[in-house]
Structure formats: C-alpha cells, structure tokens
Amino acid sequence: MKVDWNTFWPRILEATGQTITMVIFTLIFGAILGLVIGLLLFVTRKGNILENAFIFSLLNIAINIIRPVPFIIFLVTISPFTRAVIGTTIGTWAAIFPMTIVAAFVIARVVENNLVAVDPGIIEAAKAMGASPVQIIVGVLIMEALGPLILGLTFMTVALIDFSAMAGTVGGGGLGDLAMTYGYQRFDGSVMLVTIVVLIILVQIAQFLGNTVSRKFLRR
C-alpha cells in the first residue's frame, strides 16, 4: 500500500502538535502535583519538620505501587477513572490524565531525593538566621535543589514523549498513534522512519533545553 504524501505531512504536523500538547500539559500538571507530593514526602520523613509516619508511608507505598507498573497496563487499568474524571477514554485529554498521575509520582520521588540530598548544614544555617519552615522550603530547599530538579524534570520529559506514544495507541492521537496506524498496521516503513526521526528530534530538543537551564542552577 502506498502512502499519499500530500495528506501525510499535515498529519505528521498534527500528530507532532498532539504529542507536544500531551507532554507539556502532563509536565505542567505532573510537576505541580509531583512537587506537592514530593515536598509532603520530604517534610513528613522521620526527623523532619512535619514528621508523620502515616502520611509518609501512604505516599511512599503509592509511589512504589505506581512506578513499577508498565505504563500501557496502568493506562488500561485506570481507564474507568479516566472516564469518570475526563468523561471519555479517547482523545488527547484522556491520555493526559493517566500520564499526569504517573508523572506526578515519579516527579515526587525525584523531588524527595533531591531535597534529601541538600546539605542539612545549609538548612540549619537558615534556621539559625530565623527562617520559618515555609521560608526554608521555598527559599532554601527548592533553590538549592533546583539544578538537579530540572535535570530530573528533563528526564521525565523524555520519558513522557515515550509514554505519549503508548497513550496514543489507545486513542490519544499523536506520533505514536500515527506510527502504529500507518507504519505498523499497514507495514509502511517510511512512515515509521519519519515518526521516529521526529520523536528523536523532540527528545534532543527537550534534553538540550533541560541541560542548558539546569546548568544555570547547578552550583556546588
């Protein structure tokens, strides 16, 4: 079967747009949610400002359950919730919902790990200056961890480009969907090739942006 290249390029463009939409919105929601969960994990840790074994274990277990589940299986498992929240299980927004949940928990772990890595001496110095817990979290902890946090988010972005391809196959659209319907099901290698090249370019751009921005904040 031959591809009609005249209609193909607009479709590539549209699919790329869908992929970028999925990734960016997931990143925004996932980062906000992930930051909140990660901070909660950090402050409820043993010996920390708001030590709370119950909340800590709850979040910790949630992360440990969600993270190892293969995304495509998670996607299917959670589809009743997706329908309840988004109203449908098909389309870009229906893909963003499960992606956001996975992203949030992964980012939460990244946030927690990077906050734990901040030198306790620096936190103590801020405390000794009379900083309040909120001032320490915002002005010291997050500031000090910003470089590695941005690298972590970059890593997440690249993973999301991958996830979006899978989400696409269950109706999210995007480059993954395109590659599957044109390339895989109709055995057209050239379409596969084009989508792969576009995906690679997207990953490179994300990595480049992440590296550049994080370098500005990596100071130690």
Give the binding site for other proteins (CB under 8 A): 119, 121-122, 124-132, 135, 139-140, 143-144, 146-147, 217, 219-220
The least CB distance from residue 138 to other proteins, in Å, is 12
Question: Given the complex with other proteins, which of 11 and 127 has the nearer CB atom?
Answer: 127
The least CB distance from residue 121 to other proteins, in Å, is 4
Question: Given the complex with other proteins, which of 151 and 178 has the nearer CB atom?
Answer: 151
Q: Rounded to whole angstroms, what are the CA distances from 75 to 5, 82, 189?
A: 32, 9, 27
What is d(CA 44, CA 40) in angstroms, rounded to the nearest whole number? 6
Question: Given the complex with other proteins, which of 49 and 192 has the nearer CB atom?
Answer: 49
Question: Given the complex with other proteins, which of 147 and 172 has the nearer CB atom?
Answer: 147
The least CB distance from residue 39 to other proteins, in Å, is 17
The least CB distance from residue 52 to other proteins, in Å, is 18
Phi (first) and psi of residue 14, to 5 degrees: -65, -45
Identify whether the C-beta of residue 52 lies closer than 8 Å to the C-beta of residue 41: no
The b/e string for 196-215 (b: 16+ C-beta within 10 A; e otherwise) is eebbeebeeebeeebeebbe
Question: Given the complex with other proteins, which of 144 and 188 has the nearer CB atom?
Answer: 144
Is 58 buried (19+), middle (13-18) or exposed (0-12) by CB count in 10 A? middle
Question: Given the complex with other proteins, which of 83 and 127 has the nearer CB atom?
Answer: 127
The amino acid at 118:
V
What is d(CA 167, CA 177) in angstroms, rounded to the nearest whole number? 8
The least CB distance from residue 25 to other proteins, in Å, is 28
The least CB distance from residue 32 to other proteins, in Å, is 21
Write the CB contacts of 54 (distance below 8 Å, at least 6 apart in sequence).
none
